[in-house]
């Protein structure tokens, strides 16, 4: 008799709903977990069952292994899907799930350790003889050793946290005499953010494009790729626009095939199981270099699902249940674009959470909205301030951009208003910024290196005066406080970013 499965989704918000939707389609019962801040959250209502797991702070709930597993045991779940962020790339969580008798929907703890640590991953790439960004072979012990490596490979260089991501613990250094102080600063930030101050040195590739390859492995050495995504349009080292196929690889098609071969070689070598992503830097000449592997589902996976017709979560769940035979590489068709709608200040990109009174999203056969907001609600100060992911598909890139432009004009997310029409609360969004991207000449032409936003200030906001002294102070305080707040390396696990800003505003009297 076929085993009956129930899946607990150890996450919140849009990704919890997205996983539950596919699980229900497969006939599985779904279990949500929720924190004190999420008692009335949509993901808790959407699933068949929901269990309280602790306080609003992620350490008390969504990254509390004991509480999550207690909910899984109480619910009778057999599978645990981590989503992304929170516990999704924690090897100790995988081991705890397995020890408690649950099947973790994702790779093994060993795969996470090999590729999740940047130093170990770089060594694996070197052993395979594959291209990676030039730099130190491992962590450097101090600023003097960092300077020695940087002097050899040439400037500019990046100092990067071995255990980190999301731009934290990262410093650009242009001159030899600047590296010692930069090392101390970056190492302190990395230690505060990730509990590990180890740093390595990497050559800074000029005019880089961020390209990633979606892979899926069967855990036995078999693997397929599902094409690439370009995620070069970023602010504060975090992605805001993702698309497939990658415009830079349309210019260098031979590079695309070599990247596919490289990604599959790595995936097979580590006997990877499930969905994973190999991230690379591609320069203007078509040379590519390995950056890292994300051993989980990516935020931007919808664009891959659009162009391949594959439901990656269905593949994940079927593999975990022993019901998936790895298919051939699916044919890719058309073009897809995803943008991330955030509750954030449109000039500084700082989180701007708060209550929502009006929500309206686009609809249509070739538009997809992943969100946990279907009506009025509140963007919590305790978690990542993403409101929704909006993605579209069309036969070609130009039509996809046009479709996205229309989709954004049909989107409304508004804060409550007082009787005299004034906005109540701190909520602001990047909606206008996303719309400007759809009309930018470089974006339309597909020329989108990672410094696009920095070199096109008109994208951020219409021409305005310099930031006020209060705004400048708030930004400095925010970044200082964030560097002291323990956060994880994954994109969706920004712990209390909004509350940091709120505390700055209260303590310093800074107003938006």
Catalytic residues: 296
> Token pair for residue 454?
């920095």
Contact 104, 97 (CB under 8 A): yes
Tokens at 504, concatenated: 């700055």
Looking only at the bridges linking them, the beta strands covering 79-81 and 6-9 are parallel
Q: Number of helices (H) and strands (E) in the chain: give both, helices first.
A: 18, 20
Please give the structure tokens belonging to residue 325.
């035979």
Bin 436: left if φ > 0, else alpha if -120 < ψ < 50, else beta: alpha
Among residues 477, 481, 488, which one has the least CA distance to residue 510? 477
What distance in Å separates the CA atoms of residue 504 and residue 481, rounded to the nearest whole number?
9
Distance CA 234, CA 214 (A): 19
Alpha helices in 273-412 (DSSP H): 301-308, 312-320, 397-409
- 29 forms beta bridges with 6
Rounded Cα–Cα distance for residues 63 and 10 (Å): 9
Burial profile 33-71: b = 16 or more Cβ within 10 angstroms, e = fewer: bbbebbeebbbbebbebbbebbebbbeebbbbbebbbbb
- Dist. CA 499–CA 275, nearest whole Å: 33
Rounded CA-CA distance 320/412 in Å is 38
What does the alpha-carbon distance between residue 89 and residue 72 come to, in Å, rounded to a whole number?
18
Task: Report the alpha-carbon distance of residue 320 to residue 22 in Å, rounded.
Answer: 14
Q: What is the DSSP letter of 63?
A: T
CA distance 392 to 245: 13
CA distance 212 to 378: 33
Q: 351 phi and psi, to 5 degrees?
A: -55, 140
Q: Provide the token pair at 12.
A: 């919140």
| C-beta separation of 88 from 490 below 8 A | yes
Residue matched to tokens 């712990």: 495
Residues present in the chain in total: 512
What crossing angle do the helices spanning 301-308 and 312-320 adopt, rounded to 10°?
100
The kind and range of the H/E element at 210 are strand 209-218
Structure-token pair, residue 491: 């994109």
Upper half-sphere CA count for residue 358 (Cβ side, 13 Å): 12
């Amino acid at each position: 008799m076929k085993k009956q499965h129930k899946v607990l989704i150890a996450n919140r918000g849009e990704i919890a709903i997205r996983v539950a939707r596919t699980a229900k389609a497969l006939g599985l019962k779904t279990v949500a977990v929720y924190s004190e801040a999420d008692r009335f959250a949509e993901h808790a209502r959407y699933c068949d069952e929901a269990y309280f797991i602790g306080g609003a702070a992620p350490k008390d709930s969504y990254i509390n292994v004991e509480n999550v597993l207690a909910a899984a045991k109480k619910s009778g779940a057999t599978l645990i899907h981590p989503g992304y962020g929170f516990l999704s790339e924690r090897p100790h969580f995988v081991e705890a799930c397995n020890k408690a008798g649950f099947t973790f929907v994702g790779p093994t703890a060993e795969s996470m350790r090999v590729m999740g640590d940047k130093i170990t991953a770089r060594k694996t790439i070197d052993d395979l003889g594959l291209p990676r960004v030039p730099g130190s072979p491992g962590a450097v012990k101090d600023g003097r050793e960092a300077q020695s490596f940087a002097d050899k490979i040439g400037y500019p260089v990046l100092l990067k946290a071995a255990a980190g991501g999301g731009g934290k613990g990262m410093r650009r250094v242009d001159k030899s005499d600047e590296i010692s102080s930069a090392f101390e600063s970056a190492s302190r930030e990395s230690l505060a953010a990730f509990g590990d101050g180890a740093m390595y040195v990497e050559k800074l590739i000029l005019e880089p494009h961020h390209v990633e390859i979606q892979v899926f492995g069967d855990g036995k050495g078999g693997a397929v790729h599902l094409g690439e995504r370009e995620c070069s349009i970023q602010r504060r080292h975090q992605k805001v626009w993702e698309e497939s196929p990658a415009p830079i690889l349309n210019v260098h098609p031979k590079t695309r095939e070599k990247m596919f071969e490289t990604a599959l070689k790595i995936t097979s070598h580590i006997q990877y199981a499930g969905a994973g992503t190999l991230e690379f830097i591609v320069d203007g000449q078509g040379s590519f270099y390995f950056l890292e592997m994300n051993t989980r589902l990516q935020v931007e996976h919808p664009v891959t699902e659009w162009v391949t017709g594959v439901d990656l979560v269905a593949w994940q769940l079927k593999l975990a249940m022993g019901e998936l035979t790895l298919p051939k590489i699916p044919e890719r068709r058309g073009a897809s674009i995803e943008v991330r709608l955030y509750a954030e200040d449109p000039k500084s990109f700082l989180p701007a959470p708060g209550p929502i009174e009006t929500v309206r999203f686009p609809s249509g056969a070739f538009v997809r909205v992943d969100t946990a907001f279907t009506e009025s609600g509140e963007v919590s100060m305790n978690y990542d301030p993403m409101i929704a992911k909006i993605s579209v598909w069309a036969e070609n890139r130009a039509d996809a951009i046009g479709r996205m432009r229309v989709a954004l004009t049909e989107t409304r997310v508004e804060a409550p208003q007082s009787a005299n029409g004034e906005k109540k609360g701190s909520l602001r969004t990047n909606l206008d910024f996303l719309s400007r991207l759809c009309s930018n000449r470089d974006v339309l032409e597909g020329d989108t290196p990672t410094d696009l936003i920095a070199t096109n200030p008109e994208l951020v906001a219409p021409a305005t005066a310099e930031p006020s002294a209060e705004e400048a102070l708030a930004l400095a305080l925010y970044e200082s406080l964030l560097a002291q707040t323990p956060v994880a390396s994954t994109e969706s696990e920004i712990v209390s970013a909004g509350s940091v800003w709120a505390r700055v505003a209260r303590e310093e009297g800074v107003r938006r």
